[in-house]
Amino acid sequence: MDQLKSPLIDSFDRHHNYLRISLTERCNLRCSYCMPVDGVQLSPAEHLMNASEIFSIAKTFVKFGVTKIRLTGGEPLVRKDFQRILELLSTLDVELSLTSNAVSIDRHFQQLKKARVKTINISLDTLNAERFHDITFRNYFNRVYQNIFKLIEEGFIVKINAVLMRGVNEDEILDFIAFTKDQPVAFRFIEFMPFDGNQWKREKTVSYQEIMEKVQSAYSTDQIIRLQDAPNDTSKNYAIKGHKGTFAIISTVTNPFCDQCNRIRLTANGKLKNCLFSQKENDLLTALRNKEDLEPIIRQNINKKFEIRSGMRSPELFEDLKHHQQNRSMITIGG
């Protein structure tokens, strides 16, 4: 076994042990908060990491103390070599997890189990089939909905991510929470965030405070249970007394959690991002193909990480769209 090297620690003493790898810029849905209405310029196939390159880069990060890897996209399951990628990564001493839209996940249950994947995050922004089409521009609601129950039946830990957008789906907050009454899932509300081309406006964001006010209007104080958050958790976790599942709020916009950040992101074309909102990237794929040492590139990237949201410390800076126009669209970063 390769000897473990010193961990990836930034200038604010944050230890980075969680790598999120985007496998593809493609998706079989077209959610507007993730993909611009006019689509995105996809990277040529030869500019994307192949399975061996994904494994090689991931193995390097494991040497630096990464203990968790999440596979994202686009939609990671549209990769034709997804099974091969999963097989390779499962040989590493890490916790593997997946974020998917669940459109075709039922075809992969046995592969996921074989790779010891236990936790699956599913993107689902509505419990209404017609609204699902309005958000995704596709008619896959029933397939996704049924696959969530299949995942539960197969014993996976299921987390459902819903991006709340004012005028779109904020009226379903209590419906989402009601879903946790009989289903052992974690429903996670994500504040709508600005990315290139997603037509973000601050007034479209449904804040942590507003979500909790909605919950408190329907449930008494003794029914709402504040749960213990896991170390480095991005969400504030709750449960309703008597419910099998839980709910949580990821408040990137109104209440950022940067002081706990342990995440690193690798895009499908091999670029390293130290923050979701960072406009600067480092090209690991080209370096790998040139047989360069990746360690100094990775450490320099982590060392230059800002304390808060890529330097946007104040709400005013964060809400100025010019600071996001040179960042990627969400679909090309990875969820």
Give 59-95 pLDDT, tens digit per residue: 999 999 999 999 999 999 999 999 999 999 999 999 9
Is residue 33 within 8 A of residue 331, CB to CB? The reply is no
Domain 18-333 part of CATH 3.20.20.70 = yes
Q: Do 289 and 50 touch, CB atoms closer than 8 A?
A: no
pLDDT value of position 151: 98
* 123-134 burial code (b ≥16 CB/10 A, e <16): bbbbbeeebbee
Where do we find the tokens 């473990």? 4
**H or E segment and range at residue 246:** strand 246-250
- Which region holds residue 232: left if phi is over 0, alpha if psi is between -120 and 50, else beta? left
Given this model, what pLDDT does residue 1 score?
A: 45
With beta carbons less than 8 A apart as the criterion, state whether 318 and 312 touch: yes
Rounded to 5°, the CA angle 268-34-8 comes to 45
Give the chain's largest Cα–Cα span.
61
Using the structure block, give the residue that is written with the tokens 């749960």. 227
pTM of the model: 0.94
The DSSP secondary-structure symbol of 202 reads G
Q: What pLDDT sits at residue 41? A: 83
Question: Cα(112)–Cα(308) distance, rounded to whole angstroms?
Answer: 35
Q: Which residues pair with 245 in a beta bridge?
A: none
Helix (H, G, I), strand (E, B) or coil at 239: strand
pLDDT in the model for residue 172: 98
Q: Return the amino acid letter for 98.
A: L
198 is written with which tokens? 């997603």
User: For residue 2, what pLDDT is reported?
Assistant: 60
Q: Assess contact for 17 and 261: CB atoms under 8 A.
A: no
| Token duo for residue 13 | 């003493």
Residue 27 contacts residue 322 (beta carbons within 8 Å): no
User: Are the C-beta atoms of residues 238 and 225 closer than 8 Å to each other?
Assistant: yes
Which residues of the chain, if any, have pLDDT below 50? 1
